[in-house]
Amino acid sequence: MKRSPLSPWKTLQDLEPALLSGTVVALRADFNVPLGRGRVSDSARIESTIPTIDHLVAAGARVVILSHLGRPEGRVRPEFTLRPVADCLDGLVEAPVAFLPHIGGDAVRDAVAGLAQGSVLLLENTRYLAGETAGDPGLAADWARWADHFVLDAFGTAHRAHASTAGLPHAVRLKGGEAVAGFLVAQELDVLGGVLDDPGRPFVGVIGGAKISGKIDVIAALLARVDVLLIGGAMANTFLLAMGLQTGASLVEAERAEVARRILEAAGSRLVLPVDCVVAASLTAGVETRSVDRSAVTAEDVIGDVGPVTAALFGSYLAGAGTVVWNGPVGAFEIDAFASGTRAVALSAAAAAEAGAKVIVGGGDSVAAVRSAGVAARITHVSTGGGASLDLLAGKALPGLEALSERSPAGNPRR
């Protein structure tokens, strides 16, 4: 695998299988999947980490998987149990898969001690413990008692300084073990590193979603790299407000209007905003909508999507792109009345990929959009990390990556 300067961290490929044989490997996976009637309704995230699991099993490791599911907020909530994930996983790997309805303490240590080589144990939801999201070093140390090595295959959580993503690998390294990236994370780093190092031109960014506040750093970082940045979603409303336009009763961050104005001044023509909008009395299913020029929004209107002219405009930029990075829907696409713009972007992104552009889509809503449009298979790379990929592109350090073992400048591995 080509190693990008962005990814100096060790991966599974840096470890000899003999080093893993008989050892206990703590694997942080991202099994935060949708459930329905007690079953996994979309197994894509589980399937994406199967190559890493299979590799560890083949090497004779005893694989103990940690993951979160939903937001149980530090308490046991049965609707967020990982038991259905274990049932799904059991049908995807050749190795025996067991589920333990515990996440810490002696119960886990005893269960791990009884594991056979080449077997898999999935622990209960890490977020049942408040120390997980708090990054409790004591919780990380408790897990490290039984872990010889650590593998991060949950790119979507790499930007979180949680006990299982940052604390555990650090604790494993302190006791002399290796902490490395799994195949999924290594692939993400390779793809995103290529975008940062040598993007094909023109480089087009598409940023959507609700708020500008959470993506200011990303917007600034992308503007320094892209040839054009297309802005949609409710965050575009704040930019329109900064231009002195009426945004009606739309979701808008008025306190961020001055920030948006400064971004507009610095970006000039490289930042492209919607020129028309789909508006309604409210963002509800079945509501009557109309498409209007952005200058014709009334005080009673709620902006729910980019209009058809904007969708075509965005499509024209994507059609000639060499690289596309898309994160965030350009409208309230979960409501059919406001889904046309995001679907149009998805189709244009797929067409750009088929024309030779490298197209990367990240973020849960964006991924859902390309899947609902039936074009996910046509996208160059569908990232498993929304916030993580954006933070990486913005040049931020990701705690989950920073905790991994690094390679020395000379290429000699070091812990």
Q: Output the pLDDT for position 191.
A: 86
Angle between helices 216-223 and 386-393 (to 10 degrees): 50
176 neighbors 217 (Cβ within 8 angstroms): no
Token look-up 């995807």 returns 92
Tokens of 46: 């589980």
* Boundaries of every domain in the chain: 12-186, 199-393
Is there a contact between 152 and 391 (Cβ–Cβ < 8 Å)? no
Whole-angstrom distance, CA of residue 288 vs CA of residue 146: 59
Q: Are 301 and 249 in contact (CB under 8 A)?
A: yes
Confidence (pLDDT) at 4: 44
pLDDT band at 383 (very low <50, low <70, confident <90, very high): confident
| pLDDT in the model for residue 121 | 98
Ranges 19-23, 128-132, 219-223, 407-411: which has the least confidence: 407-411
Who wins on pLDDT, 197 or 52? 52
Cα–Cα nearest to 229, from 194, 276, 258, 271: 271
pLDDT of residue 199: 87
pLDDT attached to residue 395 = 76
Mean pLDDT across the stretch 55-66? 97
Specify the 3-state DSSP secondary structure of 286: coil
CA–CA gap between residue 43 and residue 40 (Å, rounded): 6
* Averaged pLDDT score across all residues of the chain: 91
Q: What integer is the mean pLDDT of 7-36?
A: 93
Residue 414 has pLDDT above 60, yes or no: no
Q: Which one, of 204, 58, 168, lies nearest residue 404 by Cα?
A: 168
Residue 412 has pLDDT above 70, yes or no: no
pLDDT tens-place string over residues 280-320? 999 999 999 999 999 999 999 999 999 999 999 999 999 99
Which candidate, 141, 148, 169, 174, places its Cα nearest to that of 157? 169
- CA 34 to mean position of chain CA atoms: 15
Give the mean model confidence (pLDDT) for residues 257-263: 92
CATH 3.40.50.1260 fits 12-186, yes or no: yes
Residues identified as active-site: 45, 211, 364, 387
**What does the CA dihedral 70, 73, 77, 79 come to, rounded to 10 degrees?**
-20
Share of the chain above pLDDT 90, in %: 75
Q: What is the pTM of this model?
A: 0.84
The contacts of residue 70 (CB under 8 Å, 6+ apart) are: 32, 77, 79, 80, 125, 127
Torsion of CA 13, 15, 16, 20, to 10 degrees: -120
CATH class of 199-393: alpha beta
Q: Give yes or no for residue 149 having a pLDDT over 60.
A: yes
Largest CA distance in the chain: 69
Q: Hey, how many other C-beta atoms are within 10 angstroms of the C-beta on 243?
A: 14
Whole-number pLDDT of residue 354: 95
> What does the pLDDT look like over 72-92, one tens digit per residue?
999 999 999 999 999 999 989
Question: Would you say the CATH fold of 199-393 matches that of 12-186?
Answer: yes
Greater confidence, 194 or 19? 19
What are the angstrom distances between the C-alpha of 61 and each of 119, 145, 151, 208, 403? 7, 16, 12, 42, 22
Helix and strand numbers (H, E) in the chain are 17, 17
